[in-house]
Amino acid sequence: MTNPVTVEVTRGLLVESRHRGSVAVVDGDGKLVFSLGDIEAAVFPRSACKAMQALPLIESGAADAYGFGDKELALACASHNGEDEHVALAASMLSRAGRNAEALECGAHWSMSQKVLIQQARALDAPTALHNNCSGKHAGFICTCCHQHIEPKGYVGYEHPLQVEIRAAIESLTGAVLGAESCGTDGCSIPTYAVPLKSLAHGFAKMATGVGLEPLRAKASRRLIEACMAEPFYVAGTGRACTELMQLAPGRIFAKTGAEGVFCAAIPEKGIAIALKCDDGATRAAEATVAATLARFFETESEVHAALTAFAATSMRNWNGIHVGDIRVTSVLTGK
């Protein structure tokens, strides 16, 4: 099955580039509400499922024991820019468990934001693991281990008790069977498991609605999603899509990107969640696609619909600020 063209990039009067992809929108019962392309194909959620990976942090009691609020929980679900606030909060989370940056096993990298990278280059000799976009997630992992008296060393390993716990949580939410054959290694060294796109959407719909979840998990899920919606800066950062999508409809939209063109999102009040994958892994296409898909679930005349539709269309300007083309979604997404 060839997935449809979901996003076009224009220049002058012509289409210069095209992105294909698949989209699944599912409710808490697993009912398909909208779809494009092959939604049974397995995709690696990558960072888009960080909120699922953060469930043990709450369910173990670690988050409460260490006094974590919305900011810390948002950072545990984040792919952040490595801005000063992100770095400081990750360090603070570790310190509450009596640890420091040396415990992080995510590796170090410069910020994914050019603006922040320039600031970092001027202030630092080199980035540390605290600057890694996953440092909040990893700080959460280490806190989860420490609170349960599990040795955190090696916590990124497939067989480590924490990863076993995370694997079980994702299996339970998505209904997918996860094992070595569906497992890859993520950028930050933890396991990432390929799951059918529809199952991924269903997992997030369960988190957003609580349907089919035990009370403890339903509460933990709601708390994580509400924390991200309450503190969107800590989920990504200045100028980033996740942050801006959640800021344009405060408390109404949850959105989280993943590498290689994945995006997951939920609209709790509508009882639905979205999972999508751009075939070619392009971030620009995933961002346009998630905004256009979210827009389908808000009234056409509403401010949120207008803001999402605007977000889905990017006017491209060159180094002199001249308009040269647009990134736009196709009619398969807009229905027009």
Interface residues with its own copies (CB under 8 A) are 2, 9, 11-14, 16-20, 42-44, 105-110, 114, 117-118, 121-122, 132, 181-189, 192, 194, 260-261, 278-282, 285, 318-322, 324-325
CB of 192 to its own copies, least distance (A): 7
CB of 47 to its own copies, least distance (A): 13
Helical spans, DSSP H, in the chain: 50-53, 55-59, 62-65, 70-76, 84-96, 114-123, 135-147, 161-174, 197-209, 215-230, 241-247, 283-295, 303-312, 331-334
Please, what is the minimum distance in Å from the beta carbon of residue 113 to its own copies? 12
Q: Give the number of other Cβ atoms within 10 Å of residue 303's Cβ.
A: 11
Question: Facing residues of 276 across strands?
Answer: 23, 263
Nearer to its own copies, 193 or 254 (CB): 193
Min CB(261)–its own copies separation in Å? 7
Q: Which is nearer to its own copies, 210 or 281 (CB)?
A: 281
Using alpha carbons only, give the angle 40, 291, 294 rounded to the nearest 5 degrees.
70
d(CA 11, CA 8): 10
Closest CB 249 distance from its own copies, rounded Å = 29
Rounded-to-integer distance, Cα 24 and Cα 33, Å: 8
- Cα torsion 85, 91, 97, 98: sign: negative
Which lies closer to its own copies via its Cβ, residue 191 or residue 271?
A: 191
Of 129 and 312, which CB lies nearer to its own copies in the complex structure?
A: 129
Asked if 62 and 105 count as a contact pair (C-beta separation under 8 A), the reply is no
Return the number of the residue (267 or 282) whose C-beta is nearest its own copies: 282
Nearer to its own copies, 106 or 205 (CB): 106
**Shortest distance in whole angstroms from residue 278 CB to its own copies:** 8
Rounded distance between C-alpha atoms, residue 45 and residue 178, angstroms: 13
